[in-house]
Every structure is written in structure tokens, then in C-alpha cells.
Amino acid sequence: MRGVWTLFKKEILRFWKVSFQTVAAPVITALLYLLIFSHVLEKHVEVYPGISYTAFLIPGLMMMSLLQNSFANSSSSLIQAKVMGNIVFLLLTPLAYWEIFLAFLAAAILRGVVVGFAVWLVALFYVDLPLAHPWLILAFAVLGGALLGALGIIAGIWAEKFDQMAAFQNFIIMPLSFLSGVFYSIHSLPPVWQKLSHLNPFFYMIDGFRYGFFGSGDMDPAISLTVVGISFLLLSWLTLHLLKCGYKLRG
């Protein structure tokens, strides 16, 4: 596993050396969302009985930041290597395709968890969050980061230039994130939009993560965990297949 560890360490150093951009900036963005939405809606919205809107909002922002940064880590690494021509140094190593997958996936999870944890630390200055089911929080954090890390690898393999990666981020990741119940409960939506929300895997990740804090949610956490787990397995299979056959990696 020395090769996996070396590539994992390289990926960690890659984002940590620019931590102001990769860690601090997402935390500041989440803090701005928290300040604006909590200030406007705190006295007007109570999603769950006895839980303030600010408290409701924080787990959603944590998970959204975690997911977006897990995706950004693996996808940006691959697209940068392809555009700059450095991908050849990765392909020439004796690493198996599954070892490359593990290293990129672990680094993506770590960056996402670091950003999510940092958002939680900042949020503690505003409200104390309960921890009803810590194991659920950990499970959804790791599985969510893994799922988006795998999706980031797929996006990095598919994209051939930065514009395509930006389109993937802006037209797929961002809409799915914002339409997943970060700022609201889906029970407040019309029936049609509730059904559409159930097709969004981001909804299950965020709702299950929030359930870990409050013991309340829009969906049974067992169902959410099953959906996220199956989604991760399917994306992992696709990612490993693409890496194995060298799709858009080997000329």
C-alpha cells in the first residue's frame, strides 16, 4: 500500500498548500449563507418543533460544503493533470487502477470532512448543536464524501478542459446541492417537487446527516443510508471501469 499512501499524501499536500483557497474560502462562503439566511428567516421559520432555523441550517451547510469540496478535490486534480500534461507521470507509475482510485477517494473524503468540520467549529459561536446519533453523522459524512469523490474522478476523466469541468460543477453539482433541502424541509414543497426531491441523492445525504444531529428528518435514515450506499457502489463500479480501460486518460 506504499504507492496508495504516496499518492494520497501528494493529493493532501496539493490542497493543503493552498488551504486558504481550498479550506478557508468554502468556510467563509458557508458562514455568509448562515449569516444571511438565519438573519432573515430565524424569527419566521421553524422547520422542526423546538429547533431554531439557525440550528436547522448548520448541518445542511456543513454537508453541502463537504460534498462540494470532496467533488472539487478529485475533479480538479485530474483535470489539472490532464490539461498540463502531468497525467503521464501518474500513468507511468506501477500503481494499479484500484490503487489510484483509493488514493484519490481518500483525499477527497479528507478534504470534505476537514471543510465540514471547520464549518461546524465556526457555527459553534452561533448555536450549540445536539448530537443525537454521532455514528450517523460520521457514516453520512464519509459516504457522502466518498460518493462525491468518485463523481469527481468521473468528471475529471470525462472533461478535457476547464470549461467542461466548470459546466459540470455549475449545472449538475450546484443545482443538486441547492435543491436538496439545505435551506428548507421538502415537506414545505408542493407534492410534485417533493417527489422530484426524492430523485436527488444529495437530499438523502443531507437529510440523513441532519438526522444525526437532531434525531428528526424528512426521511427514515435507514432508507437514506441505503440510497447513498447503493449510489456510491454504482459510481465506484463506473469509476473503476473507466480507470481500468484508461478512458480519455491514455492516448
Q: Determine the average pLDDT of the residues in 225-245.
A: 96
- According to the model, what pLDDT value does residue 52 have? 87
Tell which residue, 115, 166, 151, has the closest CA to residue 228.
151
In a domain, 141, yes or no: yes
- Residue 135 carries which DSSP code? H
The tens digit of pLDDT for each residue in 170-186 reads 999 999 998 898 988 88
pLDDT band at 74 (very low <50, low <70, confident <90, very high): very high
pLDDT band at 126 (very low <50, low <70, confident <90, very high): confident
Residue 56 has pLDDT above 70, yes or no: yes
- According to the model, what pLDDT value does residue 228 have? 97
In a domain, 140, yes or no: yes
In a domain, 71, yes or no: yes
What ranges in the chain are assigned the alpha helix state H? 2-16, 19, 25-41, 53-84, 87-91, 97-123, 134-158, 162-168, 174-178, 191-197, 201-214, 221-245
Tell which residue, 110, 101, 85, has the closest CA to residue 13.
110
Range with lowest mean pLDDT among 108-117, 140-149, 242-251? 242-251
In a domain, 86, yes or no: yes
In a domain, 7, yes or no: no
The tens digit of pLDDT for each residue in 193-224 reads 888 889 999 999 999 999 999 998 889 999 99
Using CA atoms, how far apart are residues 5 and 159, in angstroms rounded to an integer? 26
In a domain, 5, yes or no: no
Name the residue range of residue 232's domain: 18-245
Instruction: Give the global pTM.
Output: 0.94
In a domain, 87, yes or no: yes
In a domain, 250, yes or no: no
User: Number of folded domains in the chain?
Assistant: 1
The tens digit of pLDDT for each residue in 129-187 reads 899 999 999 999 999 999 999 999 999 999 999 999 999 999 999 999 988 989 888 88
